[in-house]
Amino acid sequence: MKLVHTVLSTTMKVIKELVAPAAVGELMSRLISFLISRYTKQTCRKEDMFLQLELVALKIHALVDEAERRHLAQNQRLLLWLSKLMEGMYRAYYVLDHRHDGSLLVSSSWSFSLSPSSRPAKRLCISNAPQPVCAADHNGLEEELSATLRRLEQCAEGMKEFILLLACCPTIPRRPAVSSFQSDDRYMFGRLVEREQIISFLLQPETDSSSLGVLPLVGGPEVGKGTIVKHVCSDERVRRHFVMILYSYGSLLGDNSTQDVLLTLRTGGHVLHETSPVVSGRNGSRHLLVIKNTYEVVIDEAAWASLCASLRSTAPGSKVIVVSENDSVADLGTTAAMRVKPLPREEFWYFFRTLSLGGASDPGEYPELAVLGRQIAAALDGSFFGAKVLSSLLRTNLNAQFWGAVLGVVRRFVAELRGDEDHFSKLGVAKIALEILPVPLRLKSAGQTTRVAAEAEAELQGITVQELLRSARAVPREEVRIVLWESACPPNYRYTVVCEKVETHGPHANIERKRHARQQQ
């Protein structure tokens, strides 16, 4: 028995020392192999889904490009279908832009403070304190990727029928592109459906030759109402239909003592288009009048009645578009008011990305900038003016440290004015832009005018904000007029600020110069 016990004890000891570790090792090896295999399959599956989503998005984008060349104004159902396709397309691009986030080492970080030597202008200083940039939730991204792909495939199911219907719509002659790159509102992102709906209203014949069609166009500030109308007024279909297109202001209708209200609007407004008398005789005397009205201005009822009577008698078949932030103008319409809503998050990011990265529109080329750009776009909360001004600054310097600095300025500005609904007004955006510039400037005044008025007042000597960002030496010691933004569409609005330079002295001045040099590298 003692011998048996000794043998069993020795056997158990061998098993414990040799067999058990081998079994555990084998088990761990299989577990690791299983995890690696599963991760590899998930990675391959995710890449396949990204590729599939990109292909479907490109197919839909090609259809949208073709739809822009077609006359869709009379086909409302096709416009609704197109709206759904565009919504899915921008959503797909938004998800695709997160593709490179997983390989991005989010190690660069920025913190923001104010230099005590230049407090009047709130100069921006950059330090390397660890403040991580938020990264994407990759588990949530995979779920979002799968859901987006399913929705987009559903949208694309009837693509053949859509193509057949689109082919039945007549083509639109292509107008020459604006030659000057002074502004980015040459491009109208995501408003194709709204544009065609407005054109449909304008080209629709009135049942009575003496009737007058009035379309109220309402929406919040900086959502692109004016941009849509300007593109409508530049459309050849509209220009062939009306002998004159007049862009004027509701403030001119505040006094009903003027006998000729239409003449007052023309004198104080801008004639965007006017045909020759020969063509005018063939096309009748139809006028298109666009009245831009601010929220505070109340249009005088007597002046409005006089204007409508004048158009009915002298220009039968005319149309009026009233653009305002105030919903009360809906009462002036002969049709239901059209409301312009802010762009969805995905569509606004596509707009901002294209303007900011310029030709390098693929976020894969600048993954770190794409992460920062999405956060800047989100902080702008859909402000078109803010997107145009800040993107023009970002485009001059494709440097992650500079973009991080801009993000810090925007976030701090939003935090300081939390609860103020007007913090992304034109004046608010101007303050943000001035704080980004490499020299301390004190804002004296700001205003909006037209290019014609600027030429008459010899204001073309102002320096653009992009030139100032490239070279701080361009700022004279006396006051300087800075052009923040200029529209490429008539009446060519120009927003300028007048500033004076704030001199910095001592060691902090050298710090500022070194900081600017690092940003330009």
pLDDT in tens, 468-497: 887 766 666 678 888 888 887 788 888 888
- What are the residue boundaries of the structural domains of the chain, listed by start? 42-102+143-169, 192-339, 345-436, 438-520
If pLDDT is split at 50, 70 and 90, which confidence band does 177 have? very low
CA 30 – CA 473 distance, rounded (Å): 66
Range in 14-28, 66-80, 463-477 the model is least confident about: 14-28
Contact 438, 121 (CB under 8 A): no
| Interval 131-160: pLDDT, tens | 443 444 556 667 878 888 888 888 777 788
Extract the runs of DSSP E, i.e. beta strands, from 337-431: 338-340
CA 426 – CA 294 distance, rounded (Å): 14
Q: Output the CATH code of domain 192-339.
A: 3.40.50.300
Per-residue pLDDT, 245: 95
- Res. 236: pLDDT tops 80: yes
**With 0-12 CB in 10 A as exposed, 13-18 as middle and 19+ as buried, what is 74?**
middle
Contact 222, 385 (CB under 8 A): yes
Chain mean pLDDT for the chain? 76
Range in 215-219, 318-322, 459-463 the model is least confident about: 459-463
If pLDDT is split at 50, 70 and 90, which confidence band does 314 have? confident
Range 301-315 average pLDDT: 88
CA 350 – CA 96 distance, rounded (Å): 11
Report DSSP state, residue 460: T
Range in 201-210, 313-322, 399-408 the model is least confident about: 201-210
Q: What are the Cα distances from residue 280, in Å, to 244, 275, 290, 448, 457?
A: 9, 6, 19, 33, 34
Q: Which residues are paired to 218 by β-bridges?
A: 324, 339
Per-residue pLDDT, 335: 92
- How much helix, strand and coil, in percent to the nearest 5, is found in the chain? 55, 15, 30
Per-residue pLDDT, 132: 40
In residues, how long is the chain? 521
Query: How far is C-alpha 227 from the chain's CA centre?
Result: 12
- Res. 464: pLDDT tops 50: yes
> Which of 259-268, 360-369, 383-392, 468-477 shows the highest mean pLDDT?
383-392
CA 352 – CA 350 distance, rounded (Å): 6
Query: Which residue in this structure is represented by tokens 């060691």?
Result: 507
- Res. 221: pLDDT tops 50: yes
CA 482 – CA 152 distance, rounded (Å): 45
> 491 preceded by cis ω (within 30°)?
yes
